[in-house]
């Protein structure tokens, strides 16, 4: 087995993952260079195919494993990063946020989820963590997300949440 192959042992079974060349699909590539990605939250690896010589980059980042989300009705489902990303993108639609800042937002939310050190987290907890980070990142996106997440029934509830935001901003300005 090549030294560069990723090895994992799961329930006593050795699983080996190879990084295929995206051009010729050859299984034997070597890592030429590794460094922290520009976001500082992942590792960029420069690879070269040992058959055709094509060079390409891969990115490695932390993944939340074994986290169950307990829905309001009691049903459980595994944590799905893509589902959260879709919700954030919808809330941030037509807002000016860089890709780098968006990645940092997602990582911050996931870091807070991991910091809970629980295998099961309620959807309510996830929503609160997302809202906390959105409030700091983009207040319009926060209101969009909160209006769906909190199921605002009418304009009064919407105004009530806006007033909370305005009070917080006034307190910050006074300091």
**DSSP classification of residue 28:** -
Find the DSSP H helices in the chain.
81-91, 99-115, 123-137, 139-149, 155-174
pLDDT band for position 74 (50/70/90)?
A: very high
Where does the pLDDT of residue 71 fall: very low under 50, low under 70, confident under 90, or very high at 90 and above?
A: very high
pLDDT in tens, 119-167: 999 999 999 999 999 989 998 998 888 888 777 777 888 788 788 777 7
- Residues 156 and 40: their CA atoms lie apart, in Å, by 42
Domain chopping of the chain, boundaries = 6-61, 68-174
Q: Which of 5-19, 55-69, 71-85, 90-104 is predicted with the least confidence, judged by mean pLDDT?
A: 5-19
The pTM of this model reads 0.65
Identify which has the larger pLDDT, 73 or 8.
73
| Element containing residue 35 per DSSP (H, E) | strand 29-36
Task: Report the distance separating Cα 96 and Cα 98, nearest Å.
Answer: 7
């Amino acid at each position: 087995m090549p030294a560069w192959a990723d090895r994992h042992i799961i329930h006593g079974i050795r699983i080996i993952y190879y990084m295929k060349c995206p051009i010729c699909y050859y299984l034997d590539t070597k890592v030429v260079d590794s460094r922290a990605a520009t976001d500082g939250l992942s590792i960029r690896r420069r690879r070269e195919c040992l058959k055709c010589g094509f060079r390409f980059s891969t990115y490695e980042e932390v993944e939340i494993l074994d986290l169950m989300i307990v829905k309001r009705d009691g049903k459980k489902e595994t944590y799905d990063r893509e589902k959260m990303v879709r919700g954030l993108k919808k809330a941030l639609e037509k807002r000016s946020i860089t890709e780098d800042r968006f990645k940092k937002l997602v990582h911050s939310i996931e870091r807070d989820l991991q910091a809970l050190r629980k295998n099961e987290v309620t959807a309510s907890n996830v929503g609160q963590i997302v809202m906390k980070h959105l409030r700091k990142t983009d207040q319009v996106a926060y209101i969009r997300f909160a209006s769906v997440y909190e199921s605002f029934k009418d304009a009064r509830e919407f105004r009530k949440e806006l007033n909370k935001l305005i009070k917080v901003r006034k307190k910050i300005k006074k300091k």
